[in-house]
Amino acid sequence: MRWRPGPIFIILALAALLPLLDVVLPPKMQLCEAVRGVFLYAILALGLNVVTGYAGLLNLGIAAFMAIGAYAFGILTCEIYPFQLGFWPALALTIPIGAFAGFILGAPTLGLRGDYLAIVTLGFGEIVQDVLKNLDVVTKGTQGINPLPAPTFGGSEWTAEDEYKWYYLFFALLVVTVFAVRNLERSRLGRAWFSIREDEIASRSMGIRVERTKLIAFATAAAIAAFAGGLSASVLSSTGEPSNYDFQISILALCIVIVGGIGSIAGVLVGALVMVGLNSIVLVKATAWMAANGIGSQGNVLLSPNNWKFLIFGLALILAVRLKPNGLIPPRIERAKQ
């Protein structure tokens, strides 16, 4: 059989070539920095996709694990704390830390029914923000932990000016995540997740250890989200304030997964492009354009594109579920059914 490039390959290849396009575009139109955000949320949503897409457990608090990763990265690296690790070891450590946090939340709650679990994760997302804000002795409250290190290659540390280096770093880490998740999907564990999603009782009678398998999905998602959090803290050189990891972020990740195609890696990549593109490219550029042309005003709530965010997310979810329940790029298993 001749090898044909799959959708994942095509998307990643296009993303790798994007900086070439930036070279010819005028500075105002350049996309690399914004697309870096797409990569970041794609990693986060790939994590969510493991728990919600593969294992069928709705997690509404994925941003909390992102926050845990970001703060873990901050505490491990910032000079005001005793650890002072470098970028790479700290980023690597966010993965087990995130997995552990997922384990702590998941172990007692995964026996719950799906919709109860959703509420627990939603509440967890709110509480992590509260705790981070209130434990200001450790977390610096709303100031966030900063400054945080960037990776070093060849002696000198990167700065915000090294746009293309950051771009390819994010890109490379996204590729790594895609391959890791793809291999998981096709492993024995991945099959077990699908099986649980389709029918828990049947899976149990086939000898799958349901609780343990669910817990691994939960912890894997948390680990990937924490990894994304560490990465975002590094590029911003700060953890930012706790409310940067609020329910909106969890919903953005959920939108990516639902709109793109629940359980489909290529779908998540496309979903990230569409949703984050809307959120941080179209809306931001529209705001800037309207301000430049004197249309936007602080006084009129309708004329600020940022105020339409919730409506767009909400409608995206409602319409996606109604019209394209399998998303823009359905997973292979659904394509095979049709």
Partner 1 sequence: MLDFEVFSQQLITGLSNGMIIALIAIGYTMVYGIIELINFAHGDVFMLGAFLALTLLGALGMEAWGPSGQVFGVALMLIGSAVFCGGLNWSLDRLAYRALRKSSKLSLLVSAIGCSFVCMNLGLFWGGAPMKVFANGNSAAAPKDFPAIIPQINLLGDGFLRITPGDLLVFAVTIPLMVGLTFMVKRTRLGRAMRAVAQDPIAASLMGIPVDRVIGATFFIGGALGGFASVIYSLYNNTIGFQMGTRAGLDAFTAAVLGGIGSLPGAVLGGLTIGCVRSMSDQYLETRWTNTIVFCILVLILIFRPNGLLGSTRREKV
Site residues for partner 1 per CB under 8 A: 56, 58, 60, 108-109, 111-116, 118-120, 122-124, 126-127, 130-131, 133-134, 201, 247, 251, 254, 258, 298-302, 307-311, 313-318, 320-322, 325
Structure tokens of 112? 């719950």
Please state the closest distance from residue 135 (CB atom) to partner 1, in A. Answer: 10
**Which of 41, 67, 47 minimizes the C-alpha distance to 224?**
47
In angstroms, the CA 248 to CA 262 distance is 19
The torsion defined by the Cα of 9, 14, 16 and 19, in degrees rounded to 10, comes to 180
Please state the closest distance from residue 307 (CB atom) to partner 1, in A. Answer: 6
- Omega of the bond leading into 147 within 30 degrees of 0 (cis): yes
Q: Is 78 left (phi over 0), alpha (psi -120 to 50) or beta?
A: beta
Please state the closest distance from residue 111 (CB atom) to partner 1, in A. Answer: 8
Nearer to partner 1, 147 or 325 (CB): 325
The torsion defined by the Cα of 115, 215, 261 and 180, in degrees rounded to 10, comes to 170
In angstroms, the CA 46 to CA 13 distance is 18
Nearer to partner 1, 141 or 151 (CB): 141
Nearer to partner 1, 100 or 308 (CB): 308
Please state the closest distance from residue 74 (CB atom) to partner 1, in A. Answer: 21
Please state the closest distance from residue 42 (CB atom) to partner 1, in A. Answer: 19
Please state the closest distance from residue 322 (CB atom) to partner 1, in A. Answer: 6
The shares of helix, strand and coil residues in the chain, as percent rounded to the nearest 5, are 75, 0, 25
Nearer to partner 1, 317 or 328 (CB): 317
Q: Let me know: does 11 contact 225? Beta carbons within 8 Å.
A: no
Nearer to partner 1, 150 or 329 (CB): 329
Nearer to partner 1, 82 or 108 (CB): 108
In angstroms, the CA 221 to CA 95 distance is 10
Please state the closest distance from residue 157 (CB atom) to partner 1, in A. Answer: 37
Please state the closest distance from residue 67 (CB atom) to partner 1, in A. Answer: 15
Residue 233: DSSP 8-state: H
Nearer to partner 1, 236 or 317 (CB): 317
* CA 220 to chain CA mean position, Å: 13
**Which of 33, 48, 7, 39 minimizes the C-alpha distance to 217?**
48
Number of Cβ within a 10 Å radius of residue 311: 9
Nearer to partner 1, 80 or 318 (CB): 318
Phi, psi of 61 (to 5 degrees): -125, 30
